[in-house]
Copies of this chain bind each other. A is one copy, B any other.
């Protein structure tokens, strides 16, 4: 073959060399250009197509790089033998069905925050400062997260949660799920993980996906039962002592000590304290963390900014006991941190500048008012004496229990009226659980409480 006839489009979006490359590689793949066939010289082709020799050179170079053609010194370019290659399958772009965003008339979701109170201006300003002032943050940082944020968190944790740690023990990561995955990688194989029943389904997903067996431990009125934990043979216990999810139980000091005692009984046992929502305690100061009672040898403390800032800001952190910190470096020392350094430093300035505590005070006030408003709306129902509200001293949702028929009707009403509520029974992993409504109030406008509650309990009298 001495030349090609190609319709090169100078005004097309793709450069000429690329059009040429595509044409020739297509001809080779389709068999129109046979193996060992000689291609036109660069000079001849350039002149034939009225394009620069550089363009041809680039296309030929790409074809060589990819193994479509080869060159013989002082002779020219030839087609490679690709005839015996597997026939390449036809391309089909699959349509994986995405779950559509559902819209509710009223939404008692539990995983949301009050959008309007987010300090957009401060956040954007701090972020801009960080981007402008700290170009060196473009380089990879410490696998645990940057020291600046770990120091801010150490102070914050000491002051607000009674957690005692050094910045060296903190690992920052993009969400509790990610951190829990790391933790599952830090303990020996075959160690199973105890989880509260009812409890947090995502934690169960993570633990199971990490290849570990989950043991479901029933609760009594103080939280996870230590006797059943001990019987289970688990080596890790994942608990939510500040505000048990979803029941809202605040674990008393005695139970905390009993669980610590379980951990101390045998080498390699740890409590994973997920301190979610602890900032939203509406009766005085939040209960201090288990980690602080014990000193940190047996407790892996975890928390997140999902609720204190927003679910979409993916910054969580954990405090590892010294022994596990060493293992962390061995196993994960080569990883990169999962949180953008720009966002880490924005958050660091946000905490150090006092914006976080101001923000927390502001939203705590809002959430307390919402909780009160929702509770009083429920208590003003004609059937309110039959209802029992719990979980109200902390967290961002209420539990509403009552006679089976009444709760069942409320769930039916929710379905019919397109109101999102959650049911306590859905949070049981095994056994028949109590039934109750879980009503999250963080993101619902207050004026919606009355109509939503009245629809739910329309048959309540």
Contact = CB atoms under 8 A, between A and B. Distances in A.
A336 interface: yes
Given A61-B283, A115-B135, A336 B310 contact: no
A377 interface: no
Contact of A257 (B85, B185, B338, B341): B85
Contacts of A169: 93-94, 96
A74 interface: no
Contacts of A185: 209
Given A138-B115, A295-B89, A295-B92, A65 B287 contact: yes
A253 B211 CA distance: 38
B340 A314 contact: yes
Interface string A334-371: 11111111110000000000000000000000000000
A459 interface: no
A326 to B, nearest CB: 7
Interface string A180-199: 01000100010000000000
A310 B138 contact: yes
A206 to B, nearest CB: 8
Contact of A131 (B124, B261, B331): B124
B312 A341 contact: yes
Contact of A336 (B88, B90, B311, B341): B311
A251 to B, nearest CB: 8
A448 B65 CA distance: 31
B174 A314 contact: yes
Interface string A276-295: 00000001110100001111
Q: How many copies of the chain does the oligomer comprise?
A: 2
Contacts of A168: 94-98
Given A178-B178, A185-B209, A331-B209, A284 B58 contact: yes
A219 interface: no
A389 B338 CA distance: 35
Contacts of A213: none
Size bracket of the A interface: 35 or more
A287 B62 contact: yes
A148 interface: no
Nearest to A185: B209
Contact of A164 (B91, B112, B131, B147): B91
Contacts of A312: 137-141, 340-342
Given A140-B111, A140-B311, A254-B67, A91 B296 contact: yes
A142 B54 CA distance: 46
Contact of A96 (B82, B132, B202, B325): B325
Interface in A80-110: 80, 82, 85-86, 88-98
Interface string A312-333: 1111000001100110000110
Given A94-B322, A169-B94, A334-B201, A58 B21 contact: no
Contacts of A201: 334
A292 B168 CA distance: 45
Contacts of A205: 331-332, 334-335
A177 interface: yes
B135 A120 contact: yes
Contacts of A306: 140, 336
A98 B142 contact: yes
Given A67-B255, A89-B264, A124-B127, 11 more contacts: A18-B285, A67-B253, A86-B261, A89-B294, A97-B168, A113-B139, A115-B136, A138-B311, A140-B311, A313-B340, A314-B340
Interface of A: 15, 17-18, 21, 25, 58-59, 61-62, 65-68, 80, 82, 85-86, 88-98, 111-113, 115-116, 118, 120, 123-124, 127-128, 131-132, 135-142, 147, 164-166, 168-169, 174-175, 177-178, 181, 185, 189, 201-202, 205-206, 209, 211, 222, 250, 252-255, 257-258, 260-261, 264, 283-285, 287, 292-297, 306, 310-315, 321-322, 325-326, 331-332, 334-343, 393, 443
Question: Would you list the 8 A-B pairs with minimal beta carbon distance, nearest first?
Answer: A67-B252, A91-B295, A94-B322, A138-B310, A174-B338, A312-B341, A96-B168, A58-B284
13 contacts: A21-B284, A61-B283, A61-B284, A67-B252, A80-B253, A88-B260, A91-B295, A94-B169, A98-B147, A112-B139, A118-B135, A175-B335, A185-B209
